């Protein structure tokens, strides 16, 4: 029964991408919009990419799409082009997470894909990372625990979760390797590098960052607005029930430094 359910989920997951691809292809024929500038936000989940998209969409000249490649499609570049044609903004962008080229589309040559995007299709790359891998990993686990990935306005309730220590260590190792994979890709391309901590964590930094991106995309600067809020506290102990156990498990590992950041 479990095998059948997993198979059904896989089929549904894949078919959704193909159906969406066909729908967007039809819409693109009606839109046929062209853009003076294009960009992609490259990185991974829980790095502040949703916040950055929200900020950029405050501009009258920019439309930044969501994760248009989070499902399999028949033709990646045709799908990207169709998605862009649906929007009439002067500048078009989309969010491209590293797992999508590595696991969803399983590209045999990810560098060739990215180089074609940049060199042939004139996409500028914005590489967004998060310095604190532990916070990034826990943020994903906590969002799953709360069944809420983003909060808008109001008071945020932060029930405490119990961290599965072996699973956390496994995910940290995977995250470390994914970081190396991302760096290897981006080191071969011209890009604008941003970090969540330095560029997005505070409202004042967000203003400077958006100005930097506006200059990078050669568009006029603009006022930003967002009501997204962090779902985790600055203190690990505020939302982790077994914080002491977690801290002890991280002692003398490469991840211990993140507890103090």
Cα torsion angle, 218, 223, 228, 230, sign: positive
DSSP codes joined into one string, 115-134: HIIIIIT-EEEEEEE-S-HH
Q: Is residue 116 within 8 Å of 81, Cβ to Cβ?
A: no
Vertex 43, ends 162 and 196: CA angle to 5°? 70
Q: Indicate whether this model's pTM tops 0.85.
A: yes
Q: Which helix (H) or strand (E) holds 38?
A: strand 37-43
HEC letters along 153-208: CCCCCCCCECCCHHHHHHHHHHHHHHHHHHHHHHCCCCEEEEEHHHHCCCHHHHHH
CA dist 176 and 101 (Å) reads 17
Residues 6+ apart with CB under 8 A from 5: none
What's the CATH architecture for 2-260?
3-Layer(aba) Sandwich (3.40)
Q: Is residue 234 within 8 Å of 228, Cβ to Cβ?
A: no
The helix/strand/coil state of 141 is helix
pLDDT of residue 9: 52
Helix, strand, coil content of the chain in percent (nearest 5): 50, 15, 35
User: What strands lie across the sheet with 62-64, from one edge to the other?
Assistant: 62-64, 91-97, 37-43, 123-129, 191-195
List helix spans (H) across 37-161: 49-56, 76-85, 98-99, 110-115, 133-146
207-247 pLDDT tens trace: 999 999 999 999 999 999 888 877 778 899 999 999 999 99
81-112 pLDDT tens trace: 999 999 999 999 999 999 999 999 999 999 99
CA dist 126 and 55 (Å) reads 14
For residue 144 the two structure tokens come to 């799953």
What percentage of residues in the chain have a pLDDT greater than 90? Answer: 80
- Give pLDDT tens digits along the chain (261 positions): 445 445 445 545 667 889 999 999 999 988 878 899 999 999 999 999 999 999 999 999 999 999 999 999 999 999 999 999 999 999 999 999 999 999 999 999 999 999 999 999 999 999 999 999 999 999 999 989 988 776 666 556 789 999 999 999 999 999 999 999 999 999 999 999 999 999 999 999 999 999 999 999 999 999 998 888 777 788 999 999 999 999 999 999 999 999 997
Q: Identify the CA nearest to 208 among candidates 43, 55, 39.
A: 55
pLDDT of residue 179: 96
């Amino acid at each position: 029964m479990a095998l059948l359910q997993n198979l059904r989920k896989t089929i549904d997951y894949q078919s959704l991408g193909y159906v969406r691809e066909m729908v967007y292809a039809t819409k693109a024929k009606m839109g046929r919009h062209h853009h003076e500038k294009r960009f992609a936000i490259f990185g991974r989940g829980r790095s502040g990419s949703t916040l950055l998209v929200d900020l950029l969409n405050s501009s009258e000249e920019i439309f930044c799409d969501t994760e248009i490649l989070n499902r399999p499609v028949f033709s990646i570049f045709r799908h990207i082009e169709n998605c862009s044609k649906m929007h009439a903004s002067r500048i078009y962008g989309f969010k491209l997470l590293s797992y999508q080229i590595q696991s969803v589309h399983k590209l045999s040559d990810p560098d060739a894909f990215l180089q074609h995007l940049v060199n042939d299709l004139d996409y500028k790359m914005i590489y967004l990372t998060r310095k604190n891998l532990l916070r990034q990993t826990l943020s994903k686990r906590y969002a799953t625990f709360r069944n809420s990935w983003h909060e808008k306005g109001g008071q945020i309730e932060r029930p405490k979760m119990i961290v599965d220590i072996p699973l956390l260590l496994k995910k940290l190792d995977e995250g470390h390797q994914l970081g190396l994979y991302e760096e290897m890709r981006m080191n071969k391309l011209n890009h604008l590098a941003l970090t969540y901590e330095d560029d997005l964590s505070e409202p004042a930094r967000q203003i400077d960052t958006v100005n930097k991106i506006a200059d990078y995309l050669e568009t006029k600067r603009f006022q930003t607005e967002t009501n997204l809020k962090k779902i985790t506290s600055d203190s690990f102990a505020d939302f982790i029930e077994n914080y002491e156990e977690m801290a002890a498990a991280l002692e003398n590992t490469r991840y211990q430094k993140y507890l103090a950041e």
